[in-house]
Amino acid sequence: MLRNLAWLLPVFTLLGSAAEPRAQSKEAPAQRVERVDDGWAEKTLKSLSLEEKVGQLFMVRLRVEYFNGQSPSYFELCNNIRRYHIGSVAMSAPPQGRARDIRRRYDVVTLLNQLQLEGKIPLLVAGDFERGVLPAHLFGTTVFPHAMAFGAAGNLAYAEEFGRITARESRALGVHWNLFPVADVNSNPANPIIGTRAFGANPEQVGDLVAAYIRGARANGMLTTAKHFPGHGNTATDSHVGVPIVTDDLEHLRTVDLPPFEKAIAAGVDAVMTGHVRVLALDPDRSRVATTSPAVVTGLLKNQLGFKGIVVTDAMDMAGLVGLYAKNPGRVAVDAFKAGNDVLTMPYGLDACYRAMLQAVRSGEIGQERLDASVLKILQAKASLGLDKNRVVDVGAIPGLVGNPLSIAAGQRISDASITLVRDNGKVFPLTDRRPDMRLRVAYQRAKVQPPLLVIILCDNVRAEDGRVLERQVLKRSPDATVVYVDPRVAADRSDDVLNAADRAQKVVVAVYVVPSAARTRTVARGQKNSASLPDATAKLLSRILARATAKTAVLAMGTPYLTDDFPTIQNYICTFSNATVSEISVAKALFGEIPIPGHMPVTLSNASGPGTKIDHPARVVNVGSPN
């Protein structure tokens, strides 16, 4: 399909010139149906005013953490849906929180039902569910590791199961559209925002896993989205705070970045999300990003790759894109739509963008036919989900459809299969037996000697949840272990004590939590040379530990696997590619020899193994029973 990609540049240059709901269905959640359109979408389109048509193009944010029937944010959302005739909402929530929050899940779904009944046209409800339905602490849903863990496990059936379970749980909660899978190839270790969200660095494997996920999700009633077109993997800037520039040539794009999107399209992906990245080989106009480039969206995605589905922008409130339109904030919506996007996601200024779109249609800058084509796609997607027949879900059916034991076990099984051993000097693994001899424990206590195992959690915030499950898992197996938490704010004060403890310990485990995110770029990693790496203060502590105790120290990469680039002296190294709770459980099992360590490295590491390589490490403890 891309044999003639080298000819695209001149072509692109030319192109670029808590109330109860009024009524609730008692049926199971409507499943995705592939059927001949009965005319609802076309009939509905004809009934819409210009204002209603433009409103269908917009997707606004729904913050679950503030979502209750009495909150100002709920009333604001309701008002915006009515005032601007909004077509879609995107659910967002913190990934971590208290388990008792699960009591609220019925309230949230009830309010979603209420929102559905507020408007003339059913809403598309989207979620950015990259690790299953989040937040799991609220909805009681199945927890999965990050996408890169699936690359390490290397089993397409796991990716398909991931899609299947996420789709079933999403639909049960009233969410229809997942803004996933990530089709980016993470070829840049310094990437501050993709990282473990990608399946890996091998384009063929990434494409196969993307396609498998799409098959599983679509077969179980979910719209899917491949992102971030035309590829966000080889960037070193977070588009939440700046404008990333991709300098790769056309050949690199053809062989690395685009193949996963081709496989996604072949698998029937419903939507493709455009990224706020400058790809100079595709569009040399530096005033544009891919999202606003006709050459990228219409020329490449639609015309060259033949994609006929929904094109959706990445969040338009990201600082990099907002900065380009500071003088005219509404214009971004017009430019993105004219480039070829159908859905305009989370605009920074909803009112300005809505009015700018209305004006562009009224003035003829945007043709009525072009507007109708995009609105029709959106309406057809709603019909394909059965929303024209039933737009609400049965709250009472949730317990039987969400977080069932088989699904929970599947998430854990997949995580277990992803754990990857990169280095092993033969002196650390497995760790001490689960239950040390009582006489030894008494001796340690009487002599006030440091216990034989020291676990150091290096995280961004000692008050956050990172490391808590790992700590409990380690202490179940080795009750005399000492666990300490260090973040950049306390590293200097605690370093001497930690180093002294490491000197006395028989074995040391350092769990490093570095997970790329927009929040991390803005806060913890601000000012760092590489915001995808360990902050300076905790990096210095790890260097000092390795300098005096590397032979007896195991480093656990609970997120980014690229730590060996900065710490080449690591002798014992395990990657989980994830900070999810299932990953913490899996790595504890692996540390104590309860499960084999079967994963294959899905990315290239400096001073370590390359993609596809592994160190075989069978289970060494038999019949111990892994405490979950």
pLDDT for the residue 624:
34
229 closest CA partner among 206, 203, 262? 262
What whole-number distance in Å separates Cα of residue 245 and Cα of residue 235? 7
Cα separation values, 554 from 131, 364, 582, Å: 26, 64, 20
Cis preceding-peptide flag for 176 (omega within 30 of 0): no
Do 160 and 153 form a contact (C-beta atoms < 8 A)? no
The CATH class of the 419-591 domain is alpha beta
At the topology level, CATH places domain 5-15+18-406 in TIM Barrel (3.20.20)
> pLDDT tens, 462-512?
999 999 999 999 999 999 999 999 999 999 999 999 999 999 999 999 999
314 is annotated as an active-site residue: yes
Q: How far is CA 132 from the centre of its chain?
A: 9
pLDDT at 518: 67
Which of the following is catalytic: 240, 270, 276, 335? 240
Q: Closest Cα to residue 569, out of 581, 555, 583, 579?
A: 555
Joined tokens for residue 181: 């899978």
Query: Hey, where are the domains in the chain?
Result: 5-15+18-406, 419-591
What is the structure's pLDDT at 97?
54
DSSP 288-346: --GGG-HIIIIIIIIIIS---SEEEEPPTT-HHHHHHTTT-TTHHHHHHHHHT-SBEES
Q: Do domains 5-15+18-406 and 419-591 have the same CATH topology?
A: no
Please check whether residue 213 is in contact with residue 160, taking contact to mean a CB–CB distance below 8 angstroms. yes
Q: What are phi and psi of 124, to 5 degrees?
A: -85, 125
Q: Enumerate residues 6+ apart whose C-beta is below 8 A from 95.
A: 131, 134, 135
Distance CA 274, CA 271 (A): 10
Q: Given phi > 0 = left and psi -120 to 50 = alpha, else beta, which region is 195?
A: left
Which amino acid type is present at position 350? L
Query: Residue 457 — φ and ψ, nearest 5°?
Result: -100, 110
Residues of the chain with confidence (pLDDT) below 70 = 1-37, 66, 94-103, 238-239, 433-451, 518-519, 521-531, 607-628
Which one from 101, 314, 394, 466 is the annotated catalytic residue? 314
